Amino acid sequence: MNYYTNRRVIAVFLLGISSGFPWVIIGSALTLWLKEAGLSRADIGYAALIFSVYAINFLWSPLVDRIGFTRMTAFVSKIGIQLDSRRVWVAICQLAIAIGCILMSMHSPEINAKSLVLIGLFVATASATQDIAVDAYRVDSFDRSEPQLISAAAGAATAGWWSGYAGLGFLPLFLSDQNWSWPQLYIAMAGIVALLFSLTIFLPVVRFTGTQEQGKIFDEFKTSVLSTHARHKYLLLTLASLPFVVVIWSLAGAPGIPQSIQQHSAFIPILIVCVLTLLALTTWRCQNLLTNQTQSNYPSRLDTPLAWFLTAVAGPLRDFFQRNGYRFAISMLCFIFIFKIGEAFLGRMSIVFYKEIGYSNTEIATYSKMLTWWLTIIFAITGGWINGKFGLYRGLFVSGIAMAASNLMFSWIAEVGPSIPLYIAAIVVDGFAQAWSTVAFVSLVSLMCNHSFSATQYALMASLGNFGRTTLSATSGQVVDWLNGNWSLFFIITSLMVIPGLTILWRLKAPIENLLKQQPTQT
């Protein structure tokens, strides 16, 4: 337990608060605001699509790896403030979130709900980018020879996230019952983000940057690009740009695709598969480029920007699959994708369920926020210590079973009505499941990352998890409506969603244990 007094672990806890609080701004608070404005369950569920940016933030995560703000950090060091690129990214995102809160306070869902949701999308984008930098800061703060500190940092990150989401999230829910208007609450939340910004400036500097290895890979790509014919350079640039074109096209409303197809539940998963396939093709083409160099040179203006682009995009993917092996890497990505889908369906509609079943805003704030906050801190810190001592595999498996049990507890509440003792019991089980699974998940993903590409590689894996947790759960309101408001059956169905993830985890036992034993340190 002494690991939690480490200065780097404490810094991770504070940044965890910064990561969790935006989910109050665009999650609980916005959901209640829309509910009180009279929007339907289905509309509220579709508003959750703003969380989809968390599922695709890996697309711009290479920028966090490659843009280091060296001039800015050098300038502020002259006045005694030691900054690194990770914290500069965090600070910029925090300022954007605060501005977004102020803008949201100027809108009303009764008059223009669309504008309010669009600003929420802006906040979500800044928050998703902040998550990239925060995760990279945590990974780069610890050596792989420090597994206990890595587990402790995972516990601190989880405890911090829930301190921001549930602890600070208690305030707007509680104050909303004390005659505070939602615009006033969003101004207050902007002030909280500004306070977090001031703390970020004085956190410890990361231990690893990976700048030297990135430089070597850049030189390697530039040499290969130089020996590539011009038409192949344009072809490669086009191929590498296609994933971003697909995402921009989809965010623009997927013009040319009928609404009936866009509203199909398989449409977004197909888009994600297309993007990942294009990224894989780009990585494969780059690998061929490196292994089939010619003696001839074809210099052009594209050489430097293309090499930079390939280092940022293809470099992390190539490293990830080469180090972990294609079979294990793909299996792990599948596990990350489906592990928390059931928990996501519960979380997305939980506030609506609490209100419809008969709980007040104060009861929701007291038990769902404050109680969950303390439980998660306890279970996260304990889980970090136990996972470091007894192994991450056991932690993941036990937490998966607990997630299914917690959903069944909410099904019980739906049958008996708004019982406070049963509500508390469900919150305890749910807090245990979420904290334990997240700590083990974060520790495992951190160990799979290379310090040279920690932002991109961690964001790729976290985005897959967020895709299952947020994008698919946007249909949760429709599922409840399809079940004619049968909340009990809804939670039973969500509890069964954990089975595929546990099946994959069981088959990955040996590779995971080998990863923990053999993972080398790379700086």
57-72 mean pLDDT: 82
Q: Please give the DSSP secondary-structure letter assigned to residue 11.
A: H
257-263 mean pLDDT: 78
Three-class secondary structure of residue 84 per DSSP: coil
Contact call for residues 225 and 289 (beta carbons, < 8 A) = yes
Question: 507 and 382 in one domain?
Answer: yes
pLDDT of residue 123: 94
* Helix/strand number for the chain, H first, E second: 28, 0
Task: Find tokens 């409506």 and name the residue.
Answer: 481
pLDDT tens digit string along 390-402?
777 888 888 888 8
Domain end (from 306, 325, 344): 325
Q: What is the pTM of this model?
A: 0.79
Question: 186 and 74 in one domain?
Answer: yes
A 10 A CB-CB count for 408 gives 16
Cα separation, 31 vs 50, whole angstroms: 12
pLDDT tens digit string along 420-451?
888 888 888 888 887 888 888 888 888 888 88
Question: 343 and 302 in one domain?
Answer: no
pLDDT tens digit string along 97-138?
999 999 998 887 777 777 888 898 899 999 999 999 999 999
Those residues whose C-beta lies under 8 Å from the C-beta of residue 253, and which sit 6 or more positions away, are: 262
Question: 470 and 392 in one domain?
Answer: yes
Question: 228 and 92 in one domain?
Answer: no
Domain end (from 325, 342, 358): 325
Question: 221 and 150 in one domain?
Answer: no
Indicate whether 523 belongs to any domain: no
pLDDT of residue 128: 92
Indicate whether 457 belongs to any domain: yes
Number of domains in the chain: 2
Query: Which segments of 325-363 does DSSP mark as H helices, in order?
Result: 326-338, 341-357, 361-363
Question: 316 and 365 in one domain?
Answer: no
Of the ranges 75-79, 87-91, 467-471, 473-477, which one carries the lowest mean pLDDT score?
A: 467-471
Query: Which segments of 37-169 does DSSP mark as H helices, in order?
Result: 41-47, 52-56, 61-66, 70-77, 85-104, 109-140, 147-162
Indicate whether 107 belongs to any domain: yes
**Measured at the alpha carbon of residue 346, what is the angle toward residues 341 and 347, in degrees to the nearest 5?**
95
CATH number at residue 142: 1.20.1250.20
- In the chain, the amino acid numbered 307 is A
What are 24's two structure tokens?
A: 């109050």
272-288 mean pLDDT: 76
Measuring CA to CA, how many Å separate 518 from each of 104, 144, 149, 325, 515? 49, 10, 17, 13, 5
Closest CA relative to residue 498, chosen from 425, 408, 375:
408
| In the predicted structure, residue 520 carries a pLDDT above the cut 80 | no
Task: Find tokens 């890979």 and name the residue.
Answer: 217
What is the Cα gyration radius of the chain? Answer: 23
Contact call for residues 9 and 150 (beta carbons, < 8 A) = no
- In the chain, the amino acid numbered 473 is S
Domain end (from 309, 325, 341): 325
Question: 346 and 303 in one domain?
Answer: no
Cα separation, 438 vs 380, whole angstroms: 8
Indicate whether 294 belongs to any domain: yes
Indicate whether 80 belongs to any domain: yes
Question: 267 and 296 in one domain?
Answer: yes
Question: 215 and 116 in one domain?
Answer: no
194-203 mean pLDDT: 92
pLDDT of residue 337: 82
Cα separation, 161 vs 492, whole angstroms: 27
At 99, give phi and psi (nearest 5°). -65, -40
Question: 358 and 278 in one domain?
Answer: no
Higher-pLDDT residue of 14, 313:
14
- In the chain, the amino acid numbered 29 is A
Closest CA relative to residue 272, chosen from 513, 521, 52, 523:
52
pLDDT of residue 156: 92
198-210 mean pLDDT: 85
Three-class secondary structure of residue 213 per DSSP: helix
Q: Please give the DSSP secondary-structure letter assigned to residue 145.
A: T
Indicate whether 86 belongs to any domain: yes
pLDDT tens digit string along 129-168?
999 999 999 999 988 778 788 889 999 998 898 888 877 8
Largest CA distance in the chain: 77
Indicate whether 405 belongs to any domain: yes
Q: Please give the DSSP secondary-structure letter assigned to residue 4.
A: G
Question: 48 and 185 in one domain?
Answer: yes
Of the ranges 240-254, 278-292, 373-387, 433-447, which one carries the lowest mean pLDDT score?
A: 278-292
Indicate whether 453 belongs to any domain: yes
| In the predicted structure, residue 209 carries a pLDDT above the cut 80 | no
Domain of 297, in residue numbers: 211-325
Higher-pLDDT residue of 244, 445:
445
pLDDT tens digit string along 23-63?
999 888 888 888 777 766 666 666 667 877 877 788 888 88
Of the ranges 11-25, 70-84, 369-383, which one carries the lowest mean pLDDT score?
A: 70-84
- In the chain, the amino acid numbered 207 is R
**Measured at the alpha carbon of residue 461, what is the angle toward residues 500 and 304, in degrees to the nearest 5?**
150
Of the ranges 19-28, 352-361, 490-499, which one carries the lowest mean pLDDT score?
A: 352-361
